[in-house]
Amino acid sequence: MLTIFVKLAWRETTSSWSRFLFLFLCMALGVGAIVAVDLFAHTVERSILGDARALLGGDLEISARRSFTPDTQDLLESLSARGMTASHITELVGMASAVTSPPSAPPNSQLVEIKAVDSTYPLYGTVTVNPDQNWRPLLDEPRTDCHSSPCYGTFVQEGLLFRLQIHIGSEIRLGHSHFKIMGILKKEPDQVANAFSLGPRILISRQALAATDLIRPGSRIHERVRLKTPSTYPLSELEGELRGRLAREGIQIHSFQEAQPRLRRFLEQLSLYLGLLSLTILLVGGIGVACTIQGFLAQKTDNIATLKTLGADSTQVTGIYLTQCLLLGSIGSSLGALIGMGIFQIIPWMLDDLLPPDFKLAFSFWPVLKGMGVGMVASLIFSLWPLLSIRHISPALIFRQEVDQAHQHEKKESWLPQVRRIINQLRHDRTRTLIGSAILLSLIMLAAYQSRSWSLGLFFSFAFLAALIALMTGTNLLFWGLRQIPLPQRFLLRHSTKNLQRPGNFTKAMTLAIGLGVMLMTSLFGIQQSLLDFIGHQIPAKAPTFFFIDIQPDQQTSFEK
């Protein structure tokens, strides 16, 4: 039976394929938008997760704003027995001063951010220094070529050299220790770009930090322990275990999946917004699909009556045309997937000013399959309701060749009796009621799947239906008003006005589609203006464009100039 359905559906499609160009266009635009948005969101998410371990510095980070207690240190040391690699980092703020020659000269001092690392740092990524060299032993080994001891090597950001007027090979003092500058610190894998900083960063070893004697009771420090777990280790279980054992000590625990939470939240909201926008485009196109199917069935009334005369029942005939609708939907969805992939390829060019220079597209078949699946479901949703009219086509119609009584009935009655007639049909026609309920449930599930939220899916679905009902009511009132106005005398206007109300046309459906499109654009413009106004009111009237820190008193006059 399925083979017969496919053969007949394919024959109907190939014999009148030009009539379905509008259907292909409706489906292709909606599916193309969904595929392009999902592919871009997948690329950005994959990019974030790919760099998340390096940005966090490990698979898991345990941090505290004070020194770890002995019990916490014992717990962290026990993790190495479970196949994990730990990296202990201490960050604090201090004053660095240049070691002058002669020593009696007044030294220059500068507020700096000190970062003390152990021998396993970094767990992910690489540290870049200038000149390029093996920086690890230069930090760990004490030096004997300094003016005083203890003395260790250090790498500093270039800004410290300018502020202290020193160079590579010079000495600086931190606490009770001297440090010889071995090079410039160019890049740290776990340092977020453009992050707020109180001063230039200095990279030293933990052994050197202990020699400075800067950590005392009451010192403001930031302890971090990064863990690198085996690839097969259940990270979520470890995170839950550590949270349970360390929660009372005020220790924070983050996994690499939580890195860049603000950026991730922004991208999720952007993906949600664009996803629902794409779904709206698809639903507006679905109205065009319903119009196309309805018009096609009106032209195929004789064929349907002939099939019923030859012994086919309503279920079989509906199956033939439903198969045809799904076939057309698959072609339109495939075309939309190609359009979406094409748009995805030009996104870096469209957003060149917003994306980083090394941004690379990451293609995945899942967003493409998802978009095509959503398109197929939309085709099914919007074709089922027009196909129900097949049940009311009598086999005797082929012999009588009479005009469709439904069109005559629709022409004579006003919109209020039409609403009553539809309600009565839903009350007494169980099939139509079940199909209508299934369509509504499918719409809710489609919106919930696209938004990843049942509550938002329900809100979106009922808002869409409310807008549809409001537009239908307004359209019927508009056509009722046109019937009350005397027809113009000019032939062109008279013919156009009567043609708007002729039986069997798609003026109302086209008005609905155009109305939904205009409503969508108006809503987007309103949301944009509201966001801009909200942001504008949040910024103080006298907010500075830039601010500068660490301006010394003797530099104020020259800085103001």
Q: Give a three-class secondary structure readout of 49-103.
A: HHHHHHHHCCCEEEEECCCCCHHHHHHHHHHHHHCCEEEEEEEEEEEEEECCCCC
Boundaries of domain holding 444 = 412-540
User: Which pLDDT score, from 0 to 100, does residue 377 have?
Assistant: 85
- For residue 163, give the nearest of 111, 198, 99 by alpha carbon: 111
User: Which pLDDT score, from 0 to 100, does residue 484 have?
Assistant: 77
Contact 108/85 with Cβ under 8 angstroms?
no
Q: Report the alpha-carbon distance of residue 498 to residue 502 in Å, rounded.
A: 6
Q: Report the alpha-carbon distance of residue 222 to residue 219 in Å, rounded.
A: 10
100 lies in some domain: yes
268 lies in some domain: no
> pTM of the entire structure?
0.60
CA angle 191/349/269 to nearest 5° reads 60
Contacts of residues 68-74 at CB distance under 8 Å and 24 or more positions apart, as own/partner, are 68/223, 68/225, 68/251, 69/249, 72/246, 72/249, 72/251
288 lies in some domain: no
Last residue of a domain, one of 164, 198, 226: 226
Q: What are phi and psi of 253, to 5 degrees?
A: -130, 130
User: Which pLDDT score, from 0 to 100, does residue 405 have?
Assistant: 47
What are the tens digits of pLDDT across the range 388-403? 777 777 776 655 554 4
User: Which pLDDT score, from 0 to 100, does residue 416 have?
Assistant: 60
Last residue of a domain, one of 186, 206, 226: 226
Last residue of a domain, one of 226, 246, 280: 226
User: Amino acid identity, residue 513?
Assistant: A
Q: Which residues of the chain have pLDDT under 70?
A: 1-2, 5, 12-19, 48-51, 100-107, 192-196, 258-267, 270, 351-359, 396-419, 421-422, 424-429, 501-509, 523-524, 526-528, 530-543, 545, 547, 549-552, 561
Q: Report the alpha-carbon distance of residue 296 to residue 304 in Å, rounded.
A: 11
3-class DSSP state of 343: helix
Contact 377/446 with Cβ under 8 angstroms?
yes
Measured CA distances, 366 to 35, 93, 226, 384, 561 (Å): 9, 47, 33, 27, 58
Interstrand relation of 177-187 and 151-156 (parallel, antiparallel or unpaired): parallel
What are the tens digits of pLDDT across the range 253-302? 888 776 666 566 666 776 777 777 777 777 777 777 777 777 777 777 77
What would the two tokens of residue 172 be? 């600086």
Please report, to the nearest 10 degrees, the dihedral formed by the alpha carbons of residues 444, 445, 451, 454 taken in order: 80
Contact 389/297 with Cβ under 8 angstroms?
yes
Q: Report the alpha-carbon distance of residue 198 to residue 195 in Å, rounded.
A: 10
177 lies in some domain: yes
User: Which pLDDT score, from 0 to 100, does residue 425 have?
Assistant: 64
Count how many domains the chain has.
Answer: 2
User: Which pLDDT score, from 0 to 100, does residue 46 have?
Assistant: 74
Q: Report the alpha-carbon distance of residue 249 to residue 223 in Å, rounded.
A: 13
304 lies in some domain: no
What would the two tokens of residue 147 be? 């003016």
57 lies in some domain: no
